[in-house]
Structure 1
Amino acid sequence: MAFARRRGILVLVPSAAFLLMLLYLWNTDSAPLAPSRYLAGGGTVLHQPVQDWQPRPEFAFWSQVPQHYPPSAVRGLPRGKPVRFPRVQAAKFPAEASGTRRRQLRERRAAVKRTMARCWGAYRKHAWLADEVTPVSGGPKNPFGGWGATLVDALDTLWIMGMRAEFREAVDAAETGINFTTTNIRDVNIFETNIRYLGGFLAAFDLSGDVRLLRKAAEVGEMLYKAFDTPNHMPITRWDWQSAARGHKQEAPGSVLLAEIGSLSMEFTRLSMLTGEPKWFDAVQRIAEAMAAQQDDTSLPGLWPLAVNARSAVFNEGTLFPLGAMADSAYEYLPKMAALLGGLLPVYRTMYEKAMDAALRHNLFRPMNPTGEDILVAGQVRVEGKGRYSLEPQGQHLACFMGGLMALGGRLFDRPVDMDAAVGLVNGCIWAYKSFPHGIMAETFYAVPCNKSSPDARAVEDLPCRWDEDAWKLEVLRKAGRDAQGKDAAALAAAADAVIANHRLPQGFTAIPDRRYILRPEAIESVFVLYRVTGAEELLDVAWDMFTAIEKATATELANSEVRDVTSPEKPKPADSMESFWLGETLKYFYLIFSEPDLISLDEFVFNTEAHPFRRLVA
C-alpha cells in the first residue's frame, strides 16, 4: 500500500528498482538470532558497523537537508574493554525443573500467541500500514504520523513468537510502504517516534539481521536528527517537521517534559553502534552530560523536575518530581545505557545511583492496606521550600515500571537496597491489580501512606504500617472535598461509606481519578523482569492471573480494546482503542515470562521503554 500524497508535504517518488536483501534462514520457529556484531579483544571494543546500511536513495531525503547549526565537533562512541557486570538473570529457575510446569508454560505461551495472532489479523485486515486498528469498529487510526506504528512496534514480537511468515510480510511492507517524508500531522512527537519506530526497527534488525530494517532505522534516525539542528543542539520534542523540511531555522522550546528529552539515548546510541556513524550518539550524549552536570543542583538533589528548559539547557529548575508519567523513562534509561555500552560510560551508573538514592528517601511510600501486605508505591514529591517536601501518594500504572528498573539496576550495580525496593514495588502493583473487581489496576489512584507526614524522615522499610480504617475513611473524605469538621464519629463514617460506595473504592484506596485500563505493559514488565532476576516461581502464576483478567475484560470480536472503567461491577465498556504497545510490549512480556529464560536473556539484551530488545555490549 502506498501512502497518499498530502497537501503541503514533501513526497519522494519511489524508484522501480529494489536493492537485493541478504537471505536468512527463518522458515522455522527455531531459527537462530542474528550474531552480535560487537566483539571484545585486546582491551579494545572492536566496533564492526554493518555494511550497506544507508537508506535507499529515494528515502534519503532527510540526510540531504542542510544543517543550520552543525556541531563544531562530534564525539565518537566510547572505546575500551567492557565492564564485566554481575549476572542479571537468576542462576536457577525452579520452574524449569518440573515437566508439569513446563507443559503448563507451553500452554500459557500458546494462549498469549493466540491473542497476538487475533490482534495482528485484525490489524492486517482492517488497518494495514495505518498506525492502529480500532478493535471494536474495525477501522484504521493514525495518531503517530500514519507510519504503521502497530506494524513496526510488533515486528520483534512477531519474530520472538515464531510468526515468521507474518514477520516477512511486515518487513516487505515496511521497506517501501512506510515513507518518513510524508505524514498527516503537523508536529511530530520526537519521543514517541523514537521509541516506537526507531526502537522497533533496531530491535527487529538485532534479532533477524535483515539489513532492510537497519536502513529503515537510519531513515527514522536521519529525520529525528534534524530536530537537533538548533543553536544549542538540544532537540525540539514536538517538532514542526514541515518547517524544518523547507529549510527554516529552528530553536529548542523553553519547556519540555523530562521523559521526552531524556529518553532518546538508547535508540540513538544503538543506531550509532550499528552504523558506525557517531552523530546520533553525540546528539544524545550532550543531553546526558547536561543532566549529569545539574543533577545535584535541583531542589530535590538526585532527581530532575518534571519540566526542563531545552532552549537554555537548564535541567535544575522546578518543584515537582514524579517518577511516573512524563518523567519515567528518563530514569529507566540510566542503567540500561550502562548495560548497552558495556559500562564504558560510568556517568550512567552514577546518575542512576543518585536518582535511586533520592527516590528511596522521598518518593517511595508504603500504602496502608487492610491485609498488611509489605508493599511499596512510587509517588511524586513537591518541593515547598528549602528542605521541605510534600509527598503526593498517587499510584500510577505507568509507575509500575519502577519495580523492573530497580531490579535491573540492583543486579547490575550490586545494590541490595534496590532489590528490596524492587520486590516491594512489584508487590505493590500486584496488590493494586488484585484489589479491583476485574483483577486489573486502574490508570491512577490515591492511597494513605504510612510515612505521609515526613517522607524523608526514615527509610521506608523501618516504618510500621498498620491498617487504620478510621484514618482511611478520613482521607477518603478529604480527597472527596468533604468537610469533616464538627461531625461525630458515626456521621463521619456514614459520609465516608457513601463516598466509598459511590466511587467504588476498594479498601485502602482514597480516590481513583482515572479508572481506565488502556492495555498498558508496565505491571507485567516488572513482574517479568523480577522473575528473570530472581527465578521466583510464584510470579508465573501472578502473570497468568493478570493475563487472563486482561483478556477477559478487554477482548473484542476483532482484537483487544482499552476499557473505560475497571471499577465497574459489569464487564468494562470498550473505548475502541488499541495502542501499538499492546502488541509491542504487553503481549511480548506475557509471552516471554512463560518462555525459556534464555529467550531474550537479560544478560544479552536490554529493552528500551517500548520493550524493544537491543543487544548489549558484553565482556
Structure 2
Amino acid sequence: MRTVFPNGRAVGLVVLFVVAIFFLTALHLNQPETVSYGKVSLPRDVQNRRNIEDAVVDKINHDKGEEAQSKSENAVPKPEEGIQKHEEQPPNIQQPEVNKEDNGAGEGNPDEDIKEHKENPELDVNESENDQLPEKENVEKINVVAEPPKPQAVDLENAQRKEFVKKMAKHAWAGYRKFAWGFNEVRPLAKRSNHQPIFGGEKMGATIVDGADTLYIMGLHDEYEQAREFIKVNFTINDVKGQISTFEATIRFTGGFLALYALTKDSLYLDKAVEVADALLPAFNTKTGIALSNVNVHEKTASNYGWVTGSSSILSEFGSLHLEYLYLAKLTGNKAYEDKVQRIRDVLEKSKKKDGLYANYVDPKTGEFVGSHVSLGALGDSFYEYLIKSYVHTDKQDKQAYYMYRNVSEAIQKHMIFTSKSGLKYAAELRRGKAEHKMSHLSCFCPGMFALEADVEQDVDRKKRVMELAEDLGHTCHESYARATTGIGPEMFYFNSEEDATAKSAENGFILRPEAIEGWFYLWRLTNKEKYKQWIWDAVQAIEKYCKKENGYVGLKNVYDENSGFDDVQQSFFIAETLKYAYLTFADDEISLQKWVFNTEAHPFPIGFENMKKADN
C-alpha cells in the first residue's frame, strides 16, 4: 500500500533541508577546533593548557582577594623592589602552602623487616577515572575548568609545581643578593657571606656563576641579567691569591660558563670558560698527567692535599674533568684541552685494578693506585658518572669511555652491591676488600647513573637488569628520606644494624644536597613512573618546610629532630643542582636527555660533536 503525505512539495523541501544540515555538521566536526590566541589560532587542547598555566601563575603570584592583573603571554615576573639595592629588604615571596604533615616513616620496629612505604597511585592520563589532583597535592587547587580532561590535570599539576620551585629559586637568590652579593655563598641566619677554602678564600661569586644557567632555564630573566652583569664586570680567576680547587673550579665555573654558552650562544661565557680552564692548567703538570687537587693561580703552581696518604690525587676530582675540557676543545678548536684529559683516561685504563675496581687515590708520579678504599660516594663518585656521560656526550662515539664504564659497572654490581636483611639494595664502600655496609647521600646519584647506562644498553637482558638496579637503589635512597622525621635524608645511612637506611648521630645532617632528587629525576625521565616525580615533590615540600628561612635556605644538623638546629650555609649547588633538577622534573619539555647531558654540577652540555661548535656571532 502506498502512503500518501499531504502537501508533498513542502515535505520534500523539509527533507532536503535536514540532509543539508546533517552534511554541514559532519563537515564541521572533521575540522580541528581552534580558538584565537593573540593573532594565532591554536587547537583547543593547546589553548586550554595555556589557559590553565596562565591561571596557575596568576593564582600563585597574587594574594587572596587581590585583583589579578592581566599579563602578556611571555611576560616574566619583575623582581621585587627589595633586591634592587643591597641595603633594601629581600622580597617577601608568597609561597604556596607547604604540607604540614610528617612524611617520615615514624618509629620503626628493628625486629621486623622494613615495610615499604605506600606510594601514591600513578596518575594514568588515559585510564584513571579520577580527574582530580593526587590527594598529597598541597598547593591550593584552582578550578580553572569544570572536570578538566586528564592531560589538563597533569598540566595543571606540573604548572603549579614548576612555579613553586621557581619561587624557591627567587627566594634563595634574593637572600644571597642582599647579604652576600659577589661573595661565594650566603649564610641566611647570620646575614653575611660564607667563605670556603675551595674557592681560594676569594670573592668569586660562586653562587652567581653556578646558578646562572638555572635562572636562565627557569625564565627568571631579571635575576639572570643580574648574574650576567656580574660575570661581565666582576668575575675573574686570575686575581686569586690562594689555593683554588681544580675540581670545584672546573665543574662549577668552567662547567657553568660552558652551559651558559650552550644555552645562549653569548661569547662572553665562552671567553670566561677559557679563562678559568687556562688558569687551572698547572694542575696537569705531573709525570703522568694526573691532575693535582689545588692550583695557586697567581704563582702558577699546583699541589695535593696534605691530609691525603702519599700526597695522592683523588679519583673523583682528576677523573671528573673530561666533559668540560673535551667540550671546550671542540668549541675553541684547541685540542690541547682534550689532550690533557685524554692522557688521564689512558693512564687509568692501563692501571692495575683489583677485581676491576678503581681505588679512590692515585699517585700522580706513577699512575698507580694507592690504598684499597673504593667508594661510589665521596672520593670516587663522579669519576664513574663521567665515563657513562662521556659516552652519551659524544653521541656514543667515545667507545673507550663506554667499555671502561661497562667493565667497572659489572665489577661494582659483583663486589659492591648488597641486599639488607629487609630487602633494600645498597652500594657499600670497600676497604681492604671488605664491605662497609653504609651508603652516603652522595651515592644517591647512582640511580641516575645506572638508569643512563640502561638507556643506552643494547642487550635486552642487561638493560632490564641494570634498570632494576637503578630503581632498587632509588627506592633505598627514598627510604632514607621517608624514615627521617623531617622527610629529608641524612649524609650517611647504614644497613644491617638496628634499623636499615638510618644514620648515626655524627652523620645525620643535611646540607641541601641534590643527589637523591637527581637520581629520581633520571628515573622519572627514563621510566615515566609517577612515583619518582612524587618523591621529588615530597622532598621539595620538606626542604621548603624545614630549611626555608627569611633570607634563604639552610641545612639541618639532624634530619631526625626538627629542633636540633641548622647548618647556616646556602650552598651554591642548591640553586645550581637541587632546584634545577626539581624544576626540570615538572618541565618535561625542557632540557631533553636525548639532546643534553649534565655535568656533575647539573650544568647541561649538548650531545653530539655537531653541536659542539662555536656559534657564528
TM-score where L is the length of structure 2: 0.71
**Mapped pair 1:331 → 2:331:** no
Read off the aligned partner of 2:601 and give its amino acid letter.
Answer: E
- Give how far 1:239 is off: 2.3
Corresponding position of 2:360: 306
* Deviation digits for residues 128-182 of structure 1 (CA, Å, limit 9, x no counterpart): 1111011111112232242111000101100110012221221121012011111
Read off the aligned partner of 2:355 and give its amino acid letter.
Answer: L
8 Å CA contact retained: 1:231, 1:251: no
- Give how far 1:537 is off: 1.5
**Mapped pair 1:394 → 2:425:** no
Corresponding position of 2:419: 366
Corresponding position of 1:536: 529
**Mapped pair 1:134 → 2:187:** yes
2:125 & 2:373 partners in 1: Cα distance? 43
Cα gap change, 1:427 to 1:219, in 2 (>3 Å): same
Q: How does 1:497-576 map to 2 (within 5 A)?
A: 509=502, 511-568=504-561, 570-576=562-568
Q: How does 1:147-226 map to 2 (within 5 A)?
A: 147-183=204-240, 186-226=242-282
Cα gap change, 1:95 to 1:228, in 2 (>3 Å): farther
Read off the aligned partner of 1:615 and give its amino acid letter.
Answer: P
SS of equivalent residue, structure 1 residue 239: strand
Aligned length in residues:
458
Cα gap change, 1:552 to 1:366, in 2 (>3 Å): same
**Mapped pair 1:447 → 2:528:** no
SS of equivalent residue, structure 2 residue 249: helix
8 Å CA contact retained: 1:254, 1:312: no
Corresponding position of 1:605: 596
Cα gap change, 1:589 to 1:230, in 2 (>3 Å): same
Relative to structure 2, which stretch is displaced further, 187-196 or 233-242?
A: 233-242
2:501 & 2:189 partners in 1: Cα distance? 34
Pick aligned residue for 1:435 from 456, 462, 483:
483
2:182 & 2:593 partners in 1: Cα distance? 31
* Deviation digits for residues 548-588 of structure 1 (CA, Å, limit 9, x no counterpart): 011111111110001111111x3441121111000000000
- Give how far 1:435 is off: 0.7
Read off the aligned partner of 1:601 and give its amino acid letter.
Answer: S
Read off the aligned partner of 1:240 and give its amino acid letter.
Answer: N
- Give how far 1:225 is off: 1.7
1:276 & 1:561 partners in 2: Cα distance? 42
**Mapped pair 1:259 → 2:250:** no
* Deviation digits for residues 477-497 of structure 1 (CA, Å, limit 9, x no counterpart): xxxxxxxxxxxxxxxxxxxxx
- Give how far 1:310 is off: 1.1
2:288 & 2:510 partners in 1: Cα distance? 40
1:124 & 1:521 partners in 2: Cα distance? 22
SS of equivalent residue, structure 1 residue 320: coil
Of structures 1 and 2, the one scoring higher in RCO (CA 8 A, sep 6+) is: 1
Pick aligned residue for 1:376 from 405, 408, 425:
425
Cα gap change, 1:29 to 1:394, in 2 (>3 Å): farther
Cα gap change, 1:172 to 1:540, in 2 (>3 Å): same
Pick aligned residue for 1:120 from 155, 164, 173:
173
Name the Cα RMSD after superposition.
2.3
8 Å CA contact retained: 1:298, 1:304: yes
2:456 & 2:501 partners in 1: Cα distance? 34
1:512 & 1:98 partners in 2: Cα distance? 45
SS of equivalent residue, structure 1 residue 377: strand
8 Å CA contact retained: 1:230, 1:249: no
**Mapped pair 1:281 → 2:273:** no
2:503 & 2:549 partners in 1: Cα distance? 31
Read off the aligned partner of 2:256 and give its amino acid letter.
Answer: G
Corresponding position of 1:490: none
8 Å CA contact retained: 2:293, 2:302: no
8 Å CA contact retained: 2:479, 2:501: no
Read off the aligned partner of 1:307 and give its amino acid letter.
Answer: Y
Corresponding position of 1:78: none
* Deviation digits for residues 64-90 of structure 1 (CA, Å, limit 9, x no counterpart): xxxxxxxxxxxxxxxxxxxxxxxxxxx
Structure 1 gap segments, 5+ residues each: 1-26, 31-92, 384-388, 449-474, 477-505
Read off the aligned partner of 2:269 and give its amino acid letter.
Answer: L
Larger Rg: 2
1:275 & 1:172 partners in 2: Cα distance? 24
- Give how far 1:231 is off: 4.1
1:552 & 1:131 partners in 2: Cα distance? 25
Structure 2 gap segments, 5+ residues each: 1-72, 77-122, 127-149, 611-617
8 Å CA contact retained: 1:119, 1:558: yes
* Deviation digits for residues 199-224 of structure 1 (CA, Å, limit 9, x no counterpart): 11111111111110111111111111
Read off the aligned partner of 1:546 and give its amino acid letter.
Answer: A
Task: Using the aligned pairs only, state the percent identity.
Answer: 32
8 Å CA contact retained: 1:332, 1:405: yes
SS of equivalent residue, structure 1 residue 203: helix
- Give how far 1:379 is off: 1.0
Corresponding position of 1:588: 580
8 Å CA contact retained: 1:367, 1:508: no
1:250 & 1:375 partners in 2: Cα distance? 41
Corresponding position of 1:406: 450
Corresponding position of 2:46: none
2:388 & 2:500 partners in 1: Cα distance? 36
Q: How does 1:2-81 map to 2 (within 5 A)?
A: 28=74
TM-score where L is the length of structure 1: 0.71
2:546 & 2:503 partners in 1: Cα distance? 24
Q: How does 1:336-355 map to 2 (within 5 A)?
A: 336-355=389-408
- Give how far 1:29 is off: 7.1
1:552 & 1:251 partners in 2: Cα distance? 40
2:534 & 2:509 partners in 1: Cα distance? 24
Read off the aligned partner of 1:282 and give its amino acid letter.
Answer: D
1:520 & 1:113 partners in 2: Cα distance? 18
8 Å CA contact retained: 1:95, 1:537: no
